């Protein structure tokens, strides 16, 4: 079986360099925006460069696609893996010192959800943590005393207590609004920082709940990007025992992707909450 160890090691090296940059660099804006129209911070660009440099040392990697770059880029003609990454997700939260993260989707020879073989994310918070989803295991690591130390594996319960609803309520559909209200009336707690990495990480570690980012009036197809953000987290959630669907009720990992920057609506969570989404939002079951 092929080992992804050199890829995971490159991600660890990148994570430590990005953590260093977050600590030491300022939060100035760069004079440009990325493909999705987000204004880039100098730190977004620096994090992107760090990851591209570390991945260029791994011959197994054929191509990379970054949220911060318009087009995918070939690294090694003889490589096999395609890696899509969001170098610094939630970077607009850095100036208020909230947690941010890096997200990686590792695809086998094609930019397609059906070819996703592993996903990794790193959380830069008060502590630096990494989660890898590969070979049926969701492994959780914490950076401590100079190395990533493995903790217990992550497993979602069937029903959680947290509700993380993205986007502004003004843009929500009536069905989505009533879903969110119904969860609150069942006693769910609001836990939403505005960074998908810490928000999804919190739900995973606290046993379950729902993270949602629906299609809205201004972004009917959703905001979060398939290749760099939603597919990798859908992979993590499924391996942890959860479910990930879009607002039509289609399994996220069955969706197609025709452009590296394509977005989708998404609902990720434990079983109970996603069954509710299927009934209340998608009109299924």
| Interface residue list for ligand FDP (CB under 6 A) | 38, 89-92, 166-167, 194-196, 223-224, 229
What single DSSP character describes residue 263? B
- Give least dist CB 148 to Zn ion, A: 22
244 binds, among ligand FDP, Zn ion, none (CB under 5 to 8 A by kind): none
Read off φ and ψ for residue 150, nearest 5 degrees: -80, 135
Closer residue to ligand FDP, CB minimum distance, 16 or 98? 98
- Give least dist CB 186 to ligand FDP, A: 22
- Give least dist CB 3 to ligand FDP, A: 30
The binding site for Zn ion (CB under 5 A) comprises: 86, 89
The half-sphere exposure of 285 on its side-chain side, counting CA atoms within 13 A, is: 11
Residue with the closest Cβ to Zn ion?
Answer: 89
194 binds, among Zn ion, ligand FDP, none (CB under 5 to 8 A by kind): ligand FDP
N residues, the chain: 285
Read off φ and ψ for residue 145, nearest 5 degrees: 50, 45
- Give least dist CB 201 to ligand FDP, A: 11
Closer residue to Zn ion, CB minimum distance, 183 or 196? 196
Structure tokens at 226: 């398939």
64 closest CA partner among 82, 77, 37 = 82
Structure tokens at 27: 């939060």
- Give least dist CB 86 to Zn ion, A: 4
- Residues 129, 200 contacting (CB under 8 angstroms): no
66 closest CA partner among 95, 41, 36, 96 = 36
92 binds, among ligand FDP, Zn ion, none (CB under 5 to 8 A by kind): ligand FDP
195 binds, among ligand FDP, Zn ion, none (CB under 5 to 8 A by kind): ligand FDP
Q: How far is residue 67's CA from residue 84's CA, in Å, rounded to a whole number?
A: 8
Beta bridge partners, 244, equal 268
167 binds, among Zn ion, ligand FDP, none (CB under 5 to 8 A by kind): ligand FDP
Closer residue to ligand FDP, CB minimum distance, 79 or 90? 90
Burial 146-165, CB ≥16 within 10 A → b, else e: eebeeeeebebeebbbbbbb
- Give least dist CB 12 to ligand FDP, A: 22
Enclosing H/E stretch for 140? strand 137-144
Closer residue to ligand FDP, CB minimum distance, 79 or 99? 99
């Amino acid at each position: 079986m092929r080992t992804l160890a050199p890829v995971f090691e490159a991600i660890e090296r990148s994570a430590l360099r990005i953590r260093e940059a977050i600590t030491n660099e300022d939060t100035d804006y760069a004079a440009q925006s990325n493909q999705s129209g987000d204004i880039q911070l100098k730190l977004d660009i620096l994090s992107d460069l760090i990851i591209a440099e570390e991945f260029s040392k791994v011959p197994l990697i054929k191509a990379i696609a970054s949220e911060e770059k318009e087009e995918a880029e070939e690294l090694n003609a003889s490589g096999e893996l395609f890696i899509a990454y969001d170098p610094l997700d939630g970077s607009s939260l850095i100036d208020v010192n909230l947690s941010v993260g890096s997200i990686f989707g590792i695809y086998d020879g094609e930019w397609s959800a059906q070819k996703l073989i592993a996903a990794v994310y790193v959380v830069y918070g008060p502590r630096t943590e990494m989660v890898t989803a590969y070979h049926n295991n969701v492994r959780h690591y914490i950076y401590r005393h100079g190395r990533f130390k493995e903790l217990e594996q992550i497993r979602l319960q069937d029903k959680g207590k947290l509700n993380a609803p993205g986007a502004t309520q003004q843009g929500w559909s009536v069905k989505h609004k009533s879903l969110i209200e119904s969860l609150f009336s069942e006693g769910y707690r609001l836990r939403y920082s505005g960074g998908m990495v810490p928000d999804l990480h919190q739900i995973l570690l606290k046993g379950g709940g729902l993270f949602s980012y629906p299609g809205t009036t201004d972004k009917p197809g959703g905001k979060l990007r398939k290749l760099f953000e939603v597919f990798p987290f859908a992979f993590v959630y499924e391996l942890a025992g959860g479910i990930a669907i879009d607002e039509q009720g289609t399994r996220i990992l069955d969706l197609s992707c025709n452009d590296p920057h394509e977005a989708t609506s998404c609902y990720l969570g434990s079983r109970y909450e996603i069954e509710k989404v299927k009934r209340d939002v998608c009109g299924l079951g």
